[in-house]
Amino acid sequence: MKGLTVVAALLICLLTGGAATTTFEFSNKCSYSVWVGTLSGANNPPLSQTGFHLPASSSSSLIAPPTWSGRFWGRTFCSTDSSGHFSCLTGDCGTTKISCNGAGGSPPATLIEITLGSNGSADFYDVSLVDGYNLPVAVGPIGGTGDCQLAGCQSDLNGKCPPELAVDGPGGLVIACKSACEAFGDPRDCCTGAYGSPSTCGPTNYSTLFKTACPMAYSYAYDDRTSTFTCVGPNSYTLTFCP
């Protein structure tokens, strides 16, 4: 894996005229396997892997080109059926394969969102619960200057999830917690319609529950002030499941 990472970095470096790349270092501290999903933003190239298996207590890495933006998430309770179709009970991207191939994760799923800066401008990164929650995650830069804080949701929201938002898995275990928007479709919960602006869409009882448990993560669409983090010039990021 390390040899492939070095080769990928050299190829990206050549294609981008020597501009700096960024390494994403993934670590799984959960007691169970996580299947990572990756999705590049519009007009951004896909990374070398759009989905991969990350066993418990293991790590892996991906290289991103300059100014890349996109998201990462963990999929859980995954398996392959007798016909060879791969699927997950949380965060599934619907491709029937481990690779997501340009598809996003099905909510509820905890999202890591990153936009890399250019020419000395800041990177932006956050952890979002706007699409719900399925497992605890944290993301933080290595190196760089500026704020450069650790962002994330390190609490077990599944254990605190209201019954009306809970997603039950094997044996009645709560394996994910829906957003109120997904559960009820109310414009106030979704920040849509008459509530489609920062001045009209504020926190609700449900988003406040998420925010109290995870103050360093987005709890609703306009929760920017305490949820978006910046760092100038880090050479890598750590992305940890079950930190």
Kindly state the percentage of the chain with pLDDT values over 70.
92
Would 160 be classed as within a structural domain? no
Would 185 be classed as within a structural domain? no
Give residue-wise pLDDT tens across range 205-226: 999 999 999 999 999 999 988 8
Overall size of the chain counted in residues? 243
Would 92 be classed as within a structural domain? yes
What's the structural domain count of the chain?
Answer: 1
Q: Place 6 in a pLDDT band, splitting at 50, 70 and 90.
A: very low
Would 236 be classed as within a structural domain? yes
Side chain identity at 186, as an amino acid letter?
Answer: D
Q: Place 20 in a pLDDT band, splitting at 50, 70 and 90.
A: confident
Would 210 be classed as within a structural domain? no
Q: What is the mean pLDDT of residues 11-18?
A: 46
Would 171 be classed as within a structural domain? no
Q: Which of 151, 96, 153, 144 is nearest to 123 (CA)?
A: 144
Would 209 be classed as within a structural domain? no
Host domain of residue 150? 2-155+217-241
The CATH number of residue 30's host domain is: 2.60.110.10
Would 227 be classed as within a structural domain? yes
Q: What is the torsional sign of CA 103, 105, 107, 110?
A: negative
N-term to C-term CA, the chain: 23
Q: Place 8 in a pLDDT band, splitting at 50, 70 and 90.
A: very low
Provide the CA 206 distance to its chain's centre, in angstroms: 20
Q: Which of 11, 8, 22 is nearest to 66 (CA)?
A: 22
